[in-house]
Structure 1
């Protein structure tokens, strides 16, 4: 009896399967996808570390022994404020020497300029040339009238030619003296600037306005350009860097407001997006986004972990479907939802788009099957046969 019952059961199952296949052949074939649950962007939380707007590690340019510490950790300083002094005795002597060299070069230049203005070198040569030229012109007239010999004529001309050469030489000498004096002065000024910088570099100052967070040297310690001596941060504002997935980045804009929660301090702050990287990280596919914190943030927040949420956090999930499943007509957007082997034309209210998917604010629930493709145009209530259920990534 058991064997007969088993045979009857298998026969019944096979008959049902054959009947179903025959019926399916008359139905429209469709490919569907299930509406999936996805975190709404406003419900997402990103984490990052609170940082100062900028942090500067101060490395001295000069080498030498620290003679005095002029600032301490926790001090607020202005840009250019002294932090510590390096022994400047040698630099001071070099500076005085450079000042003396500059004064000497200035005096030489001034003398050359005055001589140029007074024609001190050129004037005697000019007088000699004028005298020789006048004498030649007089002799030339007498020579042409036959009153002087050719020898006298040639001697007068030779004397004028020599005076002309001497005048040109005097002019060149005077010009060269001015140029040399000018070059010497410029060299002395450059040497003075170098000496002044070496002297100034012995006083290590803060390059920015901010908070001194670290002084790493002590009086008596020898420092060099290889030593990080202090750190100053710009504490005029705070920022948090977060990493956002590529499917969410198009929903974030510069200026988007965010809520910042500091769990350690039990504080909630306001912030906004102020920078978004142009490209994603090649290894993670994530975009680096910088959040600027509001003015109420305090210095003790630096270094703490922060939870970042978009303002208006709904704290709930949304339903997403493939964007290509959505159709539209005069009544608006709709999808064909599969229910008990039939399709139901279902109006939908759409929300944010995430790459190939789109949020459905109203009209569908998680798990609903929507038609992606069909073998022919569909009508409301039409019987369908599901060929494939596409899995969403």
Structure 2
């Protein structure tokens, strides 16, 4: 029985080897053929859809505190107690936006004092201008009187010289009138110098400076 089983096994191995050899020969013959067959494939239908927006999923959110790389200090132009804050930390602001409100009581007092000082400076300057105008008028009148006095003194002197030629006056009288003419000329020159000094003086400069400071 054992020999019969071994014989059957050997015969199976031979049959398998023969079949393998035949398969190799057939495959070689097919590959060495002069013509090759073309296999046509039938087209397959493709399903298409219109392009449209579609949410893929819920957006990812993350809570964090963002800090600026550059920070600037905002300096108020006036001191005081903050009574109202209009902008919170992190809010966007633009140039000219009011960030907070300061108690204005002290500022109102300072402004009122400045208004009083300004009004006082204006009145002082106006009075100085009026005084200068009045001085100009008085000095101009003084020049006019000095001119008239000199003209009268010259007329009297000329008349007295004519009388002297006629024997109606003395040399002493002529000398006196000549001195009067010289005095009148000196008075006129003095009045003219005063008028010129008044007009060319810069006496209003200090008052104008005070007005500018108050403004």
User: Greater strand share, 1 or 2?
Assistant: 1
User: Greater helix share, 1 or 2?
Assistant: 2
- State the TM-score, normalizing by the size of structure 1: 0.30
- State the TM-score, normalizing by the size of structure 2: 0.49
The structure with the largest alpha-carbon Rg is 2
